[in-house]
Amino acid sequence: MIISIRSNATKEEIEHVCERIRDFGYKVHSIQGEERVVIGAVGVGDVTACLESLEAMPQVEKAVRISAPYKFVSREFRRDRTEIVVHSPRGDLRIGGDEFITMAGPCSVESEKQIMDVAEAVSRGGARVLRGGAFKPRTSPYDFQGMELEGLKLLRKAREASGLAIITEVMSDRDVELVAEYADIIQIGARNMQNFALLKTLGGCGRPIMLKRGLSSTIKELLMSAEYIVAHGNSDVMLCERGIRTFETHTRNTCDIVAVAALKELTHLPVILDPSHATGKRSLVPSLARAAVAIGSDGLIVEVHPCPEKAFSDGAQSLDVPQFNHMMADLKPYIELWAHSRLAESVAAV
Ligand code: PEP
Ligand code: MN
Ligand 2: centre distance to CA 223 (Å)? 23
Backbone angles phi, psi at 296, to 5 degrees: 95, 20
Can you give the pLDDT at residue 33?
73
Can you give the pLDDT at residue 90?
94
Can you give the pLDDT at residue 254?
98
Residues 279 and 285: beta-carbon distance below 8 Å: yes
Taking alpha carbons only, the member of 191, 320, 171, 147 closest to residue 155 is: 147
> How far, in Å, CA of 17 to CA of 22, rounded?
9
CB atoms within 10 A of CB 239: 27
In this structure, what DSSP letter does residue 192 have?
G
Chain center to CA of 165: 14
CB of 277 within 6 A of ligand 1: the answer is yes
DSSP-assigned letters across all residues of 303-322: EB-SSGGG-SS-GGG-B-HH
Can you give the pLDDT at residue 130?
98
CB of 302 within 6 A of ligand 1: the answer is no
> How far, in Å, CA of 270 to CA of 43, rounded?
28
Can you give the pLDDT at residue 349?
78
Question: Pairing relation of β-strands 129-131 and 271-273?
Answer: unpaired
pTM of the model: 0.94
Ligand 2: centre distance to CA 303 (Å)? 7
Rounded to whole angstroms, what are the CA distances from 86 to 47, 135, 165, 170? Answer: 38, 21, 7, 18
Ligand 2: centre distance to CA 104 (Å)? 11
Indicate which ligand has the atom closest to the C-alpha of 245. Answer: 1
Q: Within the chain, which residues score under 50 in pLDDT? A: none
Which residue among 131, 212, 317 is best mutated to probe the pocket of ligand 1, counting the most ligand atoms within 8 A of its Cβ? 212
Residues 86 and 25: beta-carbon distance below 8 Å: no
Which residue among 109, 169, 217, 300 is best mutated to probe the pocket of ligand 1, counting the most ligand atoms within 8 A of its Cβ? 169
Ligand 1: centre distance to CA 222 (Å)? 15
**Coil, helix or strand for 342?**
helix
Can you give the pLDDT at residue 253?
98
> How far, in Å, CA of 46 to CA of 69, rounded?
17
